[in-house]
Structure 1
Amino acid sequence: MALFPAHAYTDGASSGRRGPGGYGVVLIHGGGTVELSGGEADTTNQRMEVTAACVALEALAAGQEVTVFSDSSYLVNCMRRRWHETWRAAGWVNARRRPVANRDLWERLLAAVERHESVAWKKVRGHQKKDGPHRAGNDRADKLAVAAKLSQT
């Protein structure tokens, strides 16, 4: 069992349907906080959301108990509802019999999840004015993602 459960706040940002994008991660673990960010010149928001989760889990030492907080329904629903199991069993084809979008990142994320003792997925409301228990972490991840996106232009 991990001594210190880790919290990972993740967010992605992009310009329009496709264009410059960035991700932001705030890791809280063992009494410390680490911020990570990066971006791509030609990407989508969904790619950046999943990339943020990959980076968060890969940055932690193996064997952790991690809770990932994200405002991305795409990411959280896939992991909590285990859509990835159906996709993998079907040869990475979705219910419409089309190739699963972002398969490379989903496979990367699943590998990162397998490194840890447990990973829980929590949906947070993004960009809310109300204070909540996870607002600060989500807001900071968003700021990191937007700054990384802007650095790609």
Structure 2
Amino acid sequence: MLGVQYPDGLDWLERRLDDIESGRAQLWQAGLGKFTSGWAIVTPKGNHDVKLSTMYVAPGARGQGVGRRMIEAISAEWHYRNIFSARVTFDEDDRVTRGFFEAVGFKPIPDSRRQYGARFDRAYLLDLSSPDLLPVATNKRRVPCEFALHRFKRFI
């Protein structure tokens, strides 16, 4: 699927894994019990900015608040580290993803449309310059997730 949505997607993923392994990016994991329910890769972009390079929630964990809890945990870390903004890009036609990121506080960046093969992505920004702007859970259904920042080492 990665290669279908993004030309050279596997090469992109290889570079992100290199970034994680070398400490230039972070790998976050969300767990439900002993199962991984999601993960995210965060890449610094300057002293006070980051890019949420990718975020994934397992199909069986979607709709349970795992993604929202992951953004809450990661953005709390960003705030602690004086990160003022976070960017994410995704397919402009992906209404589910757009709805999720808008619901957790990301706003569209004007004139950010970029072509990837036959499709277009848009960039969204989360303003973290004030503690009042941190994403907060709005639903009452809280999933008992555990979150961890991991060191990554490839075995192959």
Relative to total residues, which structure has the larger strand share, 1 or 2? 2
Structure with a larger share of its residues in helix: 1
Same fold (TM over 0.5): no
Q: Which has the higher contact order (CA 8 A, sep 6+)?
A: 1
